[in-house]
Amino acid sequence: MIQGFGNVGGMASKLMSAIGFKIVCVVEYDGAVYNANGLDIAALQQHRRETGSITGFAAAKTWTRTKLSFWSARC
């Protein structure tokens, strides 16, 4: 799971996926995206450049802030 997808989180996820890490979730201020099989980080970065958000990424489930709060309260 990556918290934030800006300069630090975006670069960290890019580098980690390049060496074989499977990143299944990215969380941002407006929601999160999740794919149990792993996210295509390059495609997610392109989606964010085009739309301004990670939410709505076709290759993942989008979680709203409300759902994130519900899920994180149980962890």
Residue-level pLDDT, tens digit, the chain, 75 residues? 898 999 999 999 999 999 999 999 999 988 999 999 999 999 999 999 999 999 999 999 998 876 665 555 544
Domain boundary assignment for the chain: 2-72
Residues listed for the chain: 75
What is the per-residue pLDDT for 75? 45
In the sheet where 61-63 sits, what is the strand order?
A: 2-3, 25-28, 31-34, 61-63
What is the per-residue pLDDT for 64? 80
Domain spanning 2-72 has what CATH number?
3.40.50.720
What is the per-residue pLDDT for 1? 86
What is the per-residue pLDDT for 68? 64
